[in-house]
Amino acid sequence: MSKHASCPIVVLISGRGTNMRVLIEDSRRVPSSYAVAAVYSDKPGVAGLATAAALGVPARALDASKIADRAVYDELLGDAIAQYSPSLVVLAGFMRILSPAFVRRFEGRILNIHPALLPRYPGLHTHRRVLAAGEREHGVTVHYVTAELDGGPRILQAALAIEPEDNESRLAARVQGLEHQVYPVAVRWHCEGRLRYEAGAAWLDSAPLKEPLQLADLNLT
């Protein structure tokens, strides 16, 4: 088997899917350690589904508004994803909280990118809250998903200084630029076997990460 096929990932989205696009494109650079096997959205008709389909990746909506029961929805979503035997499930702007049963089913194999410097600002509307609080810096965190919302072990962060010109949309766009840099790095590490989840911690190169790595500290070309 090629190295490419050895790490199938499934990407979950709810919207634009710019992180998803970056991952699909990164996965097609040679040499690659992973392949995007499928994309699922909890909302039909979102732009990210069309983007994925245009790039030749199977893309489907599983409409959450049609299934009221969270446990039932998460089981159906899990069954759909399991067809691809993913080594990793990647949340990329996925806006639904996943049940403990879903997290257990894919334990240690779910990544999220959160638009804040966790543990500060978990939850929604982070850019607005950061600006309202008068923070001087903001950024993005990649973490393994656990049942605790935005509370799983942190892997990689990137930070920026808030500028006087920043409003919610300008800040969101600048943070997205950081997201597109860090997410492929974390996915590659997991798929290369360098990064893993064990005993409630993230491990890189056989040592637990006590603090997340910072993009600025990596020697990336």
Binding partner of residue 147 among ligand GAR, ligand NHR, none, CB cut-off 5 to 8 Å per kind: ligand NHR
Least Å distance, CB 2 to ligand NHR, is: 31
- Residue 56 Rama label (left phi>0; alpha psi -120 to 50; beta): left
Least Å distance, CB 208 to ligand GAR, is: 25
Least Å distance, CB 194 to ligand NHR, is: 22
Instruction: Rounding to the nearest 10 degrees, give the CA dihedral for residues 100, 114, 36, 74.
Output: 20
Q: Which SS3 state, helix, strand or coil, does residue 12 take?
A: strand
Alpha helix segments (H runs only) across the chain: 18-27, 47-54, 70-82, 100-105, 126-132, 168-191
98, 111, 158, 202: which one binds ligand NHR (CB under 6 A)? 98
C-alpha distances (whole Å) from 38 to each of 56, 103, 217 are 10, 19, 32
Does residue 114 carry a catalytic annotation? yes
Does 113 bind ligand GAR (CB under 6 A)? Our answer is yes
Taking residues 124 to 153 in sequence order and writing x for each that binds ligand NHR by CB under 6 A, - otherwise, the string is: x--------------------x-x-xx-x-
User: Rule CB under 6 A: which residues touch ligand GAR?
Assistant: 13, 15-20, 48, 92-93, 95, 113-115, 176, 179
